[in-house]
C-alpha cells in the first residue's frame, strides 16, 4: 500500500471519532498536507507532513505508516510522529484552558445568555437591534 485517502488515515490514526468527521474537517480547511489545504480524497504518503486542527488542539505530525484499518490506540500512535513544538504548544494551551476554568473565566456546560453576548463581543459579532 503506497497511498491512503487522508480521511481514512485520520480516522485510523484516531484523530477523529468517525470518518465522516475527518471528511468534514478536510472540507472546512482544518487539515493541511505539506503546507496545502487537503481535501478528503487526497492521498497520504509516507513522510508527509500534516497539520491537523481538532478539539484537542493543533497537531503537526509526520506520517510514519499507512493503514485504512482502525486498530487499538497503541497501534494508532505508531502511525505518526508529532513534533516537539506541537506537543509543547498543545500542553501550553491546555494549561491556559485549565487556569481559565479554575479562575472562573469559563463555565462548564452551556453558556448563559450573558456569556453568549461576551463571546460574541470577543469574536467581533456585535448585533444591535434598534
Domain ranges of the chain: 4-123
Neighbouring C-beta atoms of residue 66, cutoff 10 Å: 19
Residue appearing with cell numbers 472562573: 104
- Per-residue pLDDT of the chain in tens (130 residues, 90 and over written 9): 799 999 999 999 999 999 999 999 999 999 999 999 999 999 999 999 999 988 888 999 999 999 999 999 999 999 999 999 999 988 988 888 788 777 766 666 788 888 888 877 776 665 554 3
Task: State the CATH class of domain 4-123.
Answer: alpha beta
Helix (H, G, I), strand (E, B) or coil at 116: helix
Backbone CA torsion sign across 48, 53, 55, 58: positive
Phi, psi of 125 (to 5 degrees): -105, 75
- Specify the pLDDT at position 129: 47
Instruction: Give the side-chain half-sphere CA count within 13 A for 37.
Output: 7
Q: pTM of the full predicted structure?
A: 0.75
Q: What gap in Å lies between CA 41 and CA 77, rounded to an integer?
A: 22
Helix (H) or strand (E) holding 22: helix 19-27
Amino acid at each position: 500500500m503506497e497511498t491512503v485517502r487522508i480521511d481514512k488515515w485520520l480516522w485510523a490514526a484516531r484523530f477523529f471519532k468517525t470518518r465522516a468527521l475527518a471528511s468534514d474537517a478536510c472540507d472546512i480547511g482544518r487539515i493541511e498536507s505539506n503546507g496545502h489545504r487537503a481535501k478528503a480524497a487526497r492521498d497520504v504518503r509516507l513522510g508527509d507532513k500534516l497539520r491537523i486542527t481538532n478539539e484537542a488542539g493543533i497537531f503537526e505530525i509526520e506520517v510514519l505508516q499507512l493503514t485504512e484499518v482502525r486498530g487499538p490506540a497503541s497501534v494508532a500512535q505508531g502511525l505518526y510522529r508529532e513534533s516537539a513544538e506541537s506537543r509543547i504548544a498543545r500542553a501550553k494551551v491546555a494549561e491556559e484552558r485549565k487556569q481559565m476554568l479554575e479562575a472562573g473565566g469559563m463555565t462548564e456546560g452551556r453558556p448563559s445568555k450573558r456569556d453568549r453576548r461576551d463571546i460574541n463581543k470577543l469574536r467581533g459579532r456585535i448585533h444591535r437591534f434598534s
